[in-house]
Amino acid sequence: MRITCTQTEKKYLMDVVMGRDVPTVLIRGGQILNVYTGRVEQKDLVLAGRWIAYVGDYTKSGCIFNENTKIIDLDGQVVVPGYIEPHAHPFQLYHPLSLAEKVCAHGTTTLINDNLVFFSQLEVNEFIALIEEIDKRSPVKQFWWARLDAQTHLSTKQKHLFAKERVQPLIDHELVLQSGELTDWMPLLLEDEKMHGWMSQTEQNRKRIEGHAPGASFLTLSRLAAAGVTGDHESISFKEVWQRLELGYMVTLRHSSIRPDLPVLMEQLSKEKDVPWHRLMMTTDGATPPYLKKGFSDYLIRTAIQHGCPPIQAYQMVTLFPAIYYQLDSQLGGIAPGKLADFNILSSLDEPTPLQVYVEGERLAENQKVLHSFFEMDWKSYSKLKWKMNVKIKPTALQIPQKERQSFPVMNLQNPVITKMTIEELPLVDGNVHWDDDDDRCYTFLIDRKGKWMTPGVIRGFGKGIDGIASSYTSSNDLLLIGRDVHAMAQAANQVIKQKGGVVWVQNNQIIHQIQLPIAGSMSPHSVDQLIAELDPLIENLHQFGHPFDDPIYTFLFLSSTHLPQLRLTSDGLMRVKDKKVLVSSYPLP
């Protein structure tokens, strides 16, 4: 693995330390944040290639220097370890390399990634080939999870996606650091043999198991801990944080576009005495591109400090503590001899956005820009990640079944991802559904990517007067439609199909927004900055049409995701998540 020090590298490192060979880099005149002691000290930094050889007064190091050593003089700036994101979802319209390029410029040098979208589309050997290629291409280190369950309802034909022979090789792979996150953990508590086998295998491999238990009681959390869950990122209150800490969990504090919980959690934690900071980490939890305008891990540090977190602990939560938890601390997470030379140069500890970013001893970014772009990749070689539908959607197909119109379960958006169900009579004119101008309900349909079925729905609270939006960016990888005009919805759907994935909005018979997502229907081949430029006007326009939330992109993703309450669109039909009851059945696509 790339973070292992080879025998040749170790010999050179020791030759530098012992004064037998010349260092590659000397950084002097700065302060070093020692995350092991919690102190900031005036020290120099000596590098031997990818590795740190010495930290201290370089004149007393015993090292020899000549014209082959690059000397970098700092003027009191602070050097801190590279940041670690422990819970990334690297497919939020960007892909793993474009995300890595963007966040590297903000000081994040290690990502620990969800595998769900890739794993659900690729054979296991193809997925392993993909993550190994990313490992070679990406200067930012990228590790992975092994999902044990899907976030969506699986049809009978999809059950094989989480078969033992597909999941087991991932749990054993060196780039995979944990199993999870467990969004469907009830089988674990109900003695599911397959799930328990995977948990046991993960524990035998000395890897972590990430839970996903929003709102779970202390008893449920206790049972999950007994089953082997070691961490969780779903706390939204101080009480929930503390319960998890009491049970031995590693607790990841979240600050995302849909759950900006960090200010409240930090204000409450900072009032407590003897906070076990070493059991806490921080995450952006799948930041969408617009979020990244604020930063990434540097934004978390800044937010934590602004809301009462001691600065040293804020840095430790995105450096040393995740490195220890994921058993990477022999190479990552701190600035000390024998560690990889991943570090950031800051103007001060109060400004976590770096002036310069070094990865494995090489300067990779400066002033929030990477010096050499690395996000491009030949995705065409992964043919199964091509999103395509071989059907044409007709306006006449987009109808609520007549027998359901008098009493229909309506999805009321409570936030971008949570829905609440109400049973409502749909407005009919001449036997057809007719929306008044002030009615904030829209049609929503989920259409099978293979053209076999479609599921009808009605959504309230997404916006008013929207003619038709289509998105292939969904948890189920199927086609989602939202709107009031079936002709516009069909036009938007057919444009997404034509361009092989994306988001299209048709208003007044014109395409007013269009984003191409040809990689698995969820990801663009373009840079994050280009995606931001494409998304900003779409989101601004949605707000003008009455959309009330900051991040509507997540609504496209989660309307087909069955790990959150209350109503979801699935291959079987409109499903109530709590009891998996189908309230309105899907039907064949006409």
Note down pLDDT in tens along the chain; length 590 residues: 689 999 999 999 999 999 999 999 999 999 999 999 999 999 999 999 999 999 999 999 999 999 999 999 999 999 999 999 999 999 999 999 999 999 999 999 999 999 999 999 999 999 999 999 999 999 999 999 999 998 888 776 677 888 889 999 999 999 999 999 999 999 999 989 999 999 999 999 999 999 999 999 999 999 999 999 999 999 999 999 999 999 999 999 999 999 999 999 999 999 999 999 999 999 999 999 999 999 999 999 999 999 999 999 999 999 999 999 999 999 999 999 999 999 999 999 999 999 999 999 999 999 999 999 999 999 999 999 999 999 999 999 998 888 877 889 999 999 999 999 999 999 887 767 888 888 999 999 999 999 999 999 999 999 999 999 999 999 999 999 999 999 999 999 999 999 999 999 999 999 999 999 999 999 999 999 999 999 999 999 999 999 999 899 999 999 999 988 999 999 999 999 999 999 999 999 98
CATH of the domain at 270: 3.20.20.140
Q: Are residues 193 and 316 in the same domain?
A: yes
What residues pair up with 120 in beta bridges, in sequence order?
A: none
Q: Is residue 38 one of the residues assigned to a domain?
A: no
User: Considering only CA atoms, which of 327, 476, 310, 460 is closest in space to residue 387?
Assistant: 476
Q: Are residues 311 and 444 in the same domain?
A: no
Q: How far is Cα 458 from Cα 478, in angstroms, rounded to an integer?
A: 17
Q: Are residues 143 and 198 in the same domain?
A: yes
Q: Is 54 helix (H, G, I), strand (E, B) or coil?
A: strand
Residue with tokens 């309307």: 559
Burial 141-151 (b: 16+ CB within 10 A, else e): bbbbbbbbbbb
The contacts of residue 486 (CB under 8 Å, 6+ apart) are 395, 396, 398, 399, 443, 468
Q: Are residues 326 and 398 in the same domain?
A: no
Phi, psi angle pair for 124, to nearest 5°: -60, -40
Q: What is the pLDDT, as a whole number, of residue 122?
A: 94
Beta strands of 403-452 (E only): which ranges? 408-413, 419-424, 428-429, 432-433, 441-447
Q: What is the pLDDT, as a whole number, of residue 436?
A: 87
Q: What is the pLDDT, as a whole number, of residue 161?
A: 86
Q: Are residues 173 and 239 in the same domain?
A: yes
Q: How far is Cα 404 from Cα 589, in angstroms, rounded to an integer?
A: 17
Q: How far is Cα 285 from Cα 587, in angstroms, rounded to an integer?
A: 35
The C-alpha angle 429, 435, 437, rounded to 5 degrees, equals 130
Q: How far is Cα 150 from Cα 583, in angstroms, rounded to an integer?
A: 21
**Which whole-number Å values give the CA distances from 269 to 213, 238, 273, 275, in the listed order?**
21, 7, 8, 7
Q: How far is Cα 197 from Cα 186, in angstroms, rounded to an integer?
A: 15
Q: Are residues 488 and 351 in the same domain?
A: no
Q: Which of 373, 406, 432 is the last residue of a domain?
A: 373
Give yes or no for a contact between 210 and 182, defined as CB atoms under 8 angstroms apart.
yes
Give yes or no for a contact between 216 and 93, defined as CB atoms under 8 angstroms apart.
no
Q: Are residues 488 and 580 in the same domain?
A: yes
User: Considering only CA atoms, which of 298, 305, 312, 278 is closest in space to residue 39?
Assistant: 312
What residues pair up with 73 in beta bridges, in sequence order?
A: 28
Phi, psi angle pair for 571, to nearest 5°: -65, -25
The amino acid at residue 123 is E
Q: Is residue 44 one of the residues assigned to a domain?
A: no
As a dihedral over the C-alpha atoms of residue 48, residue 52, residue 55, residue 58, rounded to 10 degrees, the angle is 10
Q: Is residue 141 one of the residues assigned to a domain?
A: yes
Q: What is the pLDDT, as a whole number, of residue 282?
A: 98
What's 35's DSSP letter? T
Phi, psi angle pair for 48, to nearest 5°: -120, 85
Q: Which of 373, 399, 430 is the last residue of a domain?
A: 373
Q: Are residues 341 and 470 in the same domain?
A: no
Q: How far is Cα 482 from Cα 458, in angstroms, rounded to an integer?
A: 9
* Domain tally, the chain: 2
Burial of 351 (0-12, 13-18, 19+ CB in 10 A): middle
- Reported as a single tens digit per residue, the pLDDT across 236-275 is 999 999 999 999 999 999 999 999 999 999 999 999 999 9
- Reported as a single tens digit per residue, the pLDDT across 122-175 is 999 999 999 999 999 999 999 999 999 988 887 766 778 888 899 999 999 999
Phi, psi angle pair for 12, to nearest 5°: -65, -45
Q: Are residues 360 and 443 in the same domain?
A: no
Q: What is the pLDDT, as a whole number, of residue 564?
A: 87
Q: Are residues 296 and 433 in the same domain?
A: no
Q: Which of 373, 402, 422 is the last residue of a domain?
A: 373
Q: Is 355 helix (H, G, I), strand (E, B) or coil?
A: coil
The tokens for 577 are 């998540």
Phi, psi angle pair for 521, to nearest 5°: 70, 0
User: Considering only CA atoms, which of 137, 138, 100, 95 is closest in space to residue 115?
Assistant: 95
Please count the other Cβ atoms lying within 10 Å of the Cβ belonging to residue 237.
13
Q: How far is Cα 57 from Cα 526, in angstroms, rounded to an integer?
A: 45
Q: Is residue 415 one of the residues assigned to a domain?
A: yes
Q: Is residue 341 one of the residues assigned to a domain?
A: yes
Q: Is residue 124 one of the residues assigned to a domain?
A: yes
Q: Are residues 179 and 297 in the same domain?
A: yes
Alpha helices (runs of H) in 1-160, residue ranges in sequence order = 7-17, 96-104, 116-121, 124-137
SS (H, E, C) 203-256: HHCCCEEEECCCCCCHHHHHHHHHHCCCEECCCCCHHHHHHHHHCCCEEEEEEC
Q: Is residue 1 one of the residues assigned to a domain?
A: no
The amino acid at residue 297 is S
The contacts of residue 292 (CB under 8 Å, 6+ apart) are 102, 103, 528, 532
Q: Is 168 helix (H, G, I), strand (E, B) or coil?
A: helix
Provide the residue range defining the domain that includes 242: 80-373
Residue with tokens 């960090």: 262
Q: Rg of the chain over CA atoms, in angstroms? A: 25
Q: Is residue 471 one of the residues assigned to a domain?
A: yes
Q: What is the pLDDT, as a whole number, of residue 311?
A: 97
Chain centroid, CA 239 distance in Å: 25
Q: Are residues 132 and 242 in the same domain?
A: yes
Alpha helices (runs of H) in 515-582, residue ranges in sequence order = 528-544, 553-558
Q: What is the pLDDT, as a whole number, of residue 101?
A: 98
Chain centroid, CA 177 distance in Å: 15
